[in-house]
Structure 1
């Protein structure tokens, strides 16, 4: 894609490092090339973010459609579309089954194409959650403020002080997100199998602004949230 831009606009694109490039050429063409490259980056970030959400969703909920006597799971992206419609209480959404477009009724769990109907099913996957988590009462994300005299608060505070930061701690909250936890455990097991040992975790801290905390709590870390607050 970058080589195509170079050829079309007669510019030179040099990769300085993993996160930056340099453009050389006539000013007008350089501006056009920069605009196209930014569009490409935004498109890739949207795709990656969509993929992340789809994977997280499929780790907690599985939408299926009847195929003969059995039910078959949808692909992660269709699964995500159906679950989003379910959570938004949308009555219907268009999906594809075997490359054919159907209108999925979220309420009655049926996909319709003309006179043809296919039964749908939503399966809530069970996740093994930490024993110290509190009852989430059916919610997907819950924030629990830790008591200052609790062992968990003390342990987190101790780890934070190791960073040599002198910030005043106002409160510490535990983020209980079933989807993120399940996805984390899957990746943890993959690393343990790959590295042949279990010493693959580190306690790290990352600074951010108040406008991105909800996104991080719900979707996890994403480079598109990055700003000037990292520590």
Structure 2
């Protein structure tokens, strides 16, 4: 006598391989995957590029030369010799803006994981950094028109070139909203959502960025804001080990 044995299976999910188990989110919505620091490294790049853009912008200084004041034609001639620095500024400012948005998105997620979805600080930090990225893009918006037109000054009006010199030396320095993000980190630090030293850094450097940005000395924010960004991003990239190990 021959005995035939038949084995049947009735998987609940036919679209999963046998033995697969969906990841179970924890209490704050994470899937259980190990947190990465790629977003923080993007912030490091944004900070370095932002500092470089500010330095390069400062080298395009024809309109601030006291020997050329009031002489639009001479200012235009000098600006034509500073095109290389302006090209460097343009590239670094836009690299910083793109990376800053990545950092802003990562920071939003990181703060929500520590503060919860109802806290305001994560969205305030994101909005401040996203707004700063937009300002950097706007600060480079005239570059193509003038950088390619300067060698052919017969197509440009000298007074417009002077205006461009002031534009490139002012708008990209308006990092005031990054200061708002720094203060949001301070609030998160007091709540225990991030390492306390990062919160204190946000209070000091972020608060200073916001203060000078609101004041008539607003362009000084461009000197402090990128430094706060770099220090903060390095803190999340190299530190924050307790969170990544959780």
Q: Same fold (TM over 0.5)?
A: no
Return the structure number with greater relative CO, CA threshold 8 A, min gap 6.
2
Higher strand share: 1
Greater CA radius of gyration, 1 or 2?
A: 2
Superposition TM-score, scaled by structure 2 size: 0.21
